[in-house]
Amino acid sequence: GQSLEQPSEVTAVEGAIVQINCTYQTSGFYGLSWYQQHDGGAPTFLSYNALDGLEETGRFSSFLSRSDSYGYLLLQELQMKDSASYFCAVGSGNTGKLIFGQGTTLQVKP
């Protein structure tokens, strides 16, 4: 089976940096994705790591360590609009299954 763990809630202030961790267990792992979802909205893709290391996209970066079954999403220069739920998701094998973690609610305070 597959399982993912991420913190349920994180709070930070505007302008700060926050890291959301994700640990996973899956067979045939092929990648770790991150999605953002605002209340009432649809999930929006943020980043994808298939190989170890850091991927940077603007204020957001994502890291993967396959040997540790661990990844994180790093959000820099936090803005109020970053308040949302963040989901890590793992894909396994070639089945097309992308399974989501329980989500981390990020609250950005002034």
Partner 1 sequence: DTEVTQTPKHLVMGMTNKKSLKCEQHMGHRAMYWYKQKAKKPPELMFVYSYEKLSINESVPSRFSPECPNSSLLNLHLHALQPEDSALYLCASSPRLGAGELFFGEGSRLTVL
- Annotate 50-80 with b (16+ C-beta within 10 A) or e (fewer): eeeeebeeeebbbbbebeebebbbbbeebee
Nearer to partner 1, 44 or 77 (CB): 44
Q: Tell me which of 3, 57, 102, 107 binds partner 1, using CB under 8 A.
A: 102
The Cα 90–Cα 27 span in angstroms is 10
Residues 22/10, Cβ–Cβ less than 8 Å:
no
Q: Tell me which of 45, 59, 79, 109 binds partner 1, using CB under 8 A.
A: 45
Under the binding rule (CB under 8 A), the answer on residue 43 touching partner 1 is: yes
Under the binding rule (CB under 8 A), the answer on residue 110 touching partner 1 is: no
Give the binding range for partner 1 (CB under 8 A) out of 10-18, 19-27, 43-51, 73-81.
43-51
The least distance separating partner 1 from the CB of residue 52, rounded to whole angstroms, comes to: 15
Nearer to partner 1, 38 or 109 (CB): 38
Taking the CA atoms of 24, 27, 31 and 36 in sequence, report the sign of the dihedral they define.
negative
